[in-house]
Structure formats: structure tokens, C-alpha cells
Amino acid sequence: MKFVDEAKIFVKAGDGGRGCVSFRREKYIPRGGPNGGDGGKGGDVIFAATNRLHSLLDFKFHQHFKAKKGEHGKGSNKHGKNGADCLVYVPVGTILRELQTGEILADLIADGERFVAARGGIGGLGNARFASPTRQAPRYAQPGQPGEEKQISLDLKLLADLGIIGAPNAGKSTLLSKLTSAKPKIADYPFTTLIPNLGVVELEDYHPFVVADIPGLIEGAHAGLGLGMRFLRHIERTRLLVHIIDASLGPEETIKNWQKINAELSAYGPALAEKTQVVTLNKIDLITEDDKLEAIKAAFLDKGCTVYFISAATSKGVEELKEALARRLQQDEYERKD
Ligand SMILES: Nc1nc2c(ncn2[C@@H]2O[C@H](COP(=O)(O)OP(=O)(O)OP(=O)(O)O)[C@@H](O)[C@H]2O)c(=O)[nH]1
Ligand SMILES: [Mg+2]
């Protein structure tokens, strides 16, 4: 599947229909009054956010969106029909900006949320509207107004409650597959995940929450190494991060890896560096001596950090972690409401 998170498009709302100039012509009524109807309103271009889309891929192939024109007014006081709106579906999490100025027009964050990006022109009035005692046969009507047009940039930042970060091959996707019903690609080589994966955690007694698994980070990502930091934008809006580290490498390596990734997050900016992290040490099935685990735990405690131990492969510790994450997110929700 291709993943696209940026696009540029052009939108044009429908022009309003022209008002009509017309007069009643009937037998035995030699000089009928004006009866030109009004033009219809042009359609709007409306963006609608949907949970069914997760990428802006469609916009690579389709960049022009036009709503229909309003119909012109007709004789016998018939008004033109309004032009149909043009509905453009985008994934939840899409930010719309005016291309030239960069000004944010809308940030669609809820399923079903809508935004009118370009308004259709109103229809012109027909000559019937201009009749007055002194001007009984007006020979003019209004033109319709043009529909708005804009160049818009679309910028997708996925919305997830929880982001899973870590080095390549640490087990991020395996954890996602154990926490949710998502089926991401899992393999024993770095950069298996090339695009973000999303899943939903459903636990009794807790609100469901969305988890995002992104491609692995490596030292130098801020300078463009590996897949770089291109995908970090998709966890910018999370409330909590799970930082997963392969613990089978021993205490020193584990701490070092953790710090390297944190340095990359800091290079990206404070938004991610300051997010709360749940440090999760994975692959404990590969560690046979208990004292090794203790040493790792102590090393992290030394840094002021409590850790979770899991084996994403065997599921050991995964249920406990899942519940802890659900609890923290719920707590965070309550604190926000206070
Ligand atoms: N022994 C063991 N292997 C694991 C565990 N978790 C994941 N693995 C293996 O580690 C390899 C990498 O797992 P992934 O889940 O693809 O890792 P990732 O962090 O998503 O990797 P990228 O997408 O490349 O960044 C796979 O071969 C997994 O089967 C674990 O708890 N124990
Ligand atoms: Mg992966």
C-alpha cells in the first residue's frame, strides 16, 4: 500500500446562475409584466473527514475539484436550480492550508467533520425583482457571482492516542499486532515498516484507543539517515509514547539505544522530546539469566525511569502493559477535563 501524507489541490466552487430577462406573453394580455426568474446558487466545495481513509494517495491522481454551476433563471418566474456541492473526502487528521500564504483553513480531527473550502456564487436576480411602479418593464437582470477558487495544500498528521517508537527491529510492529487486531508486516530485518500502521486497543472498562506504529528511527535520523524523521509527524498528536528497546543486547547497549533515539526526538523538537514515554524492554524471552533483567531495570532506575519488560513474541507481560497504557490514557483524559 502506498502512503501519501502531503498533497496540493485546486478547488473551484460553482458560479451562480444568471438572472433571466423575460416578460409575460399571453393571449389577450398585450403588455405582460417582467417574469424573469433568479439564477441558482453555485455548489460549494466541501471537505469531509472520514475514518475510512488513512492516506492522501487519491490526491496524487486527482487534483482538481469543481462544484457545479447554478442554473440560469428562466421565464415564467422559474428560478434556476442550485448547483450540486462537491464533496471531497479526506482522512481524519488532515490539515488544510491556503497554498500561497500557508494559513491554516481547517484541521479536521473528527470523523464526519466538514469544512466549506470554497463557497459557490449566489445567483443573479431575474428582472421580475426589479419591477417598480415607475419601472414596469425592466430590461435587465443580474449576472451570477463567480464561485470562490483556491489552491489548497493538504497535510495529513494521523491521529492516534499512543505512538510506538524505537530502533528498527526492536519489535514495534510485533507489539502493535499483540495490542490490537492490526496485522502489520513483521520481519527480522530493519525497516520492515515503511509506512505508519494503525490499530485500536479495546479493553473492558477502558475507552478504546488508537495506536500508531511508525518506521524505526536510527542515530542520525535528524540528518536524514534511515527513513529519517519523516514519519514522526504522525505521532506528534499522540498523548503518550511507548519507547520500545531490544533488551536482549544487555544493559549498556539498551540504555545507549534508548538515549540515541531520545537524542533524535530532541532534534525533531520539544513536542516529541517532552512527551511522556513508557519505556518498554522487549525480547526478554531471549534473556535467560534473571540477574540480567535486574541489571537493566537498575540501570534505568538510575536514570529515573521505570520500565516494563515484555516479550512481544510470546506475549509475556503484554497484557499488563496494555492495561497500564489504557489506565494512563484514561487518567490523562480526566486530567484534561479538570
Ligand atoms: N525473540 C523475540 N523476537 C521478537 C520479539 N518481538 C519481535 N521479535 C522479532 O524481531 C523482529 C523484528 O520485529 P518487528 O516487529 O518487525 O520490529 P519493528 O520494530 O517493527 O521493526 P521495523 O519495522 O523494521 O522498524 C521480528 O523477527 C520479530 O519476530 C520478542 O519479544 N522476542
Ligand atoms: Mg515495524
> DSSP character for 189?
S
The answer to whether the CB of 121 is under 6 A from ligand 1 is no
C-beta of 184 in contact with ligand 1 (< 6 A): no
Which of 131-135, 212-216, 318-322: highest mean pLDDT?
318-322
For residue 2, what pLDDT is reported?
A: 67
- Predicted TM-score (pTM) of the model is 0.81
Domains and CATH numbers, the chain: 6-156 (2.70.210.12), 162-337 (3.40.50.300)
Q: Select the more confidently predicted residue: 332 or 23.
A: 23
**169 ligand 1 Cβ < 6 A:** yes
Distance between CA 238 and CA 154 in Å, rounded?
20
Contact 211, 160 (CB under 8 A): yes
Q: How far apart are CA 229 and CA 264, in angstroms?
A: 8
Mean of the pLDDT values across residues 12-37? Answer: 88
Check if 316 has its Cβ closer than 6 Å to any atom of ligand 1.
Answer: no
Parallel/antiparallel/unpaired status of strands 45-50 and 114-118: antiparallel
Q: 246 - beta bridge partners? A: 282
Burial class (CB in 10 A: 0-12, 13-18, 19+), 147: buried
Q: Which ligand is nearest to the CA of 165?
A: 1
Whether residue 66 has its Cβ less than 6 Å from ligand 1: no
* Crossing angle of the two packed helices 318-337 and 172-179, in degrees rounded to 10: 80
The pLDDT value recorded for residue 29 is: 67
Residue nearest to atom 16 of ligand 1 (CA): 186
Ligand 1 atom, smallest distance to 168 CA = 25
| Distance from the alpha carbon of residue 213 to the mean position of ligand 2, in angstroms | 7
Mean of pLDDT over the chain: 91
> Tell me, what's the pLDDT at 1?
53
Q: Kindly tell me if the per-residue pLDDT of 101 is higher than 60.
A: yes
Cβ of 317 below 6 Å from ligand 1:
no
Q: Whose CA is nearest to atom 11 of ligand 1?
A: 188
pLDDT band at 111; cut points 50, 70, 90: very high
Give the Å distance between the CA of 217 and the centre of ligand 1.
14
Please name every residue paired with 23 in a beta bridge, in sequence order, or none if there are none.
Answer: 34
